[in-house]
């Protein structure tokens, strides 16, 4: 509980007003976090809006209880079913279509394709969207295939045999994706939930293990140009919770120290406007809340941040230094710099 409160307070200092919270690797993490979020909510101490995803180990219980994506209110809602299609780049367990550089292996597929299709179809049919960790190009293709299969299978059902899917399916990370599969994100309505900070953190490791494939890795601009919905985030605690570090990485493709000069694969940079849209509007679309948050406009929730500078007048190299002067959630001041 104390760790969760500390994380929320840190997020408020950066200007975060909503958090999408996936379950961690511990067996008790998913439901413990949801319990603690409910306790904070009941105590009137939940000062950011939270979307809590459900761990795969709770899937059968979720189905048995009839829980669906979107249950809750403006402060605490049930998100999607979190699945892991593959591992990670650093451990060489991200599932690849071709072997790693100077290696004979292609990583690991954590859910076999037919099993993945079955799980995604069961979830979507029950009104539960999926939130699938996929890093390698093979894993991303497997997830897209599973979502396509689910859409086709559900389309054949009678209306009383399926429940509406309130939130779109999403892929977490999408770190290396073939160009033809980027187009499928758009065709299938899949959210590209990506973390710009990974590009600059991972670049040397990616160059070593993926080689020329890095030209279409962490491909923010390619997704943007294709018309995919980018929901940008942090992947905390793997990376800092600070969204301005991610905005800096998205706009410059450099580390905070300015390396590499000119940026790593700079053609994949986003404009500042697109990066901010990815951190504000994209997540609201992913949580089916774009009608009430993600931008400042009459009638929207009064969730906003007061900055000491205009980001559009800050040198791109300095974007990571921005902090909030004040953060309001629901019109209430929840953080003010002293």
pLDDT digits (tens, 9 = 90+) for 250-276: 999 999 999 999 999 999 999 999 999
Q: How far apart are CA 134 and CA 85, in angstroms?
A: 5
277 confidence band (pLDDT: 50, 70, 90): very high
Look at residue 29 and tell me whether its pLDDT is greater than 90. Answer: no
Q: In what order do the strands lie in the sheet with 304-306?
A: 304-306, 326-329, 332-336
pLDDT digits (tens, 9 = 90+) for 93-152: 999 999 999 999 999 999 999 999 999 999 999 999 999 999 999 999 999 999 999 999
Task: Give the CATH number, domain containing residue 116.
Answer: 3.20.20.140
pLDDT digits (tens, 9 = 90+) for 311-320: 999 999 999 9
Least Cα distance to 29 among 67, 62, 69, 58 occurs for 58
26 confidence band (pLDDT: 50, 70, 90): confident
What is the pLDDT at residue 99?
A: 98
Concatenate the DSSP letters of all residues of 108-119 into one string.
-BSS-HHHHHHH
What is the pLDDT at residue 31?
A: 83
Average pLDDT in the chain:
96
pLDDT digits (tens, 9 = 90+) for 297-306: 999 999 999 9
What is the pLDDT at residue 110?
A: 97
Give the SS3 label for residue 53.
strand
Percent of the chain with pLDDT over 90: 95
Q: How far apart are CA 113 and CA 274, in angstroms?
A: 33
pLDDT digits (tens, 9 = 90+) for 204-234: 999 999 999 999 999 999 999 999 999 999 9
Look at residue 32 and tell me whether its pLDDT is greater than 90. Answer: no
Q: Which DSSP letter does residue 176 get? A: B
Total tally of structural domains belonging to the chain:
1
Residues 6+ apart with CB under 8 A from 37: 4, 21, 46, 50, 52, 76
171 confidence band (pLDDT: 50, 70, 90): very high
Asked if 88 and 135 count as a contact pair (C-beta separation under 8 A), the reply is yes
Q: Which two tokens stand for residue 210?
A: 């993926």
pTM: 0.96
What is the pLDDT at residue 59?
A: 95
Q: Which two tokens stand for residue 110?
A: 């954590």
Sole residue written with tokens 């089916």: 288
Q: How far apart are CA 150 and CA 124, in angstroms?
A: 7
Look at residue 89 and tell me whether its pLDDT is greater than 90. Answer: yes
Q: How far apart are CA 156 and CA 55, in angstroms?
A: 28
For residue 327, give its domain range.
Answer: 2-336
**How many Cβ atoms from other residues are within 10 Å of residue 164's Cβ?**
9
Residues 6+ apart with CB under 8 A from 289: none
Look at residue 27 and tell me whether its pLDDT is greater than 80. Answer: no
Q: How far apart are CA 70 and CA 215, in angstroms?
A: 37
Residues 6+ apart with CB under 8 A from 46: 8, 37, 40, 75, 76
């Amino acid at each position: 509980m104390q760790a969760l409160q500390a994380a929320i307070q840190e997020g408020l200092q950066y200007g975060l007003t909503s958090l999408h919270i996936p379950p961690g690797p511990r067996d008790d993490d998913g439901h413990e976090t949801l319990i603690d979020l409910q306790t904070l909510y009941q105590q009137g101490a939940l000062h950011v809006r939270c979307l809590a995803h459900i761990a795969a180990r709770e899937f059968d219980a979720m189905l048995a209880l009839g829980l669906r994506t979107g249950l809750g209110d403006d402060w605490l809602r049930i998100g999607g079913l979190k699945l892991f299609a593959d591992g990670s780049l650093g451990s060489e367990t991200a599932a690849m279509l071709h072997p790693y550089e100077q290696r004979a292996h292609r990583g690991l597929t954590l859910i076999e394709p037919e099993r993945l299709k079955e799980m995604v179809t069961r979830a979507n049919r029950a009104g539960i969207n999926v939130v699938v960790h996929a890093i390698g190009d093979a894993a991303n293709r497997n997830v897209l295939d599973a979502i396509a299969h689910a859409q086709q299978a559900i389309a054949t059902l009678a209306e009383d045999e399926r429940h509406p899917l309130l939130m779109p399916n999403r892929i977490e990370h999408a770190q290396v994706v073939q160009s033809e599969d980027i187009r499928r994100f758009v065709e299938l309505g899949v959210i590209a939930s990506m973390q710009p900070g990974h590009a600059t953190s991972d670049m040397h490791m990616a160059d070593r293990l993926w080689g020329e494939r890095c030209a279409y890795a962490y491909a923010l601009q390619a997704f943007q140009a294709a018309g995919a919905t980018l929901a940008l985030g942090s992947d905390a605690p793997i990376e800092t919770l600070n969204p301005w570090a991610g905005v800096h990485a998205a706009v410059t493709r450099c580390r905070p120290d300015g390396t590499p000069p000119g940026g790593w694969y700079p053609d994949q940079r986003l404009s500042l406007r697109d990066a901010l849209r990815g951190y504000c509007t994209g997540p609201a679309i992913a949580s089916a809340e774009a009608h009430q948050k993600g931008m400042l406009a009459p009638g929207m929730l009064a969730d906003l941040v007061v900055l000491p500078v205009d980001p559009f007048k800050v040198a791109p190299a300095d974007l990571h230094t921005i902090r909030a002067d004040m953060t309001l959630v629901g019109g209430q001041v929840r953080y003010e710099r002293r």
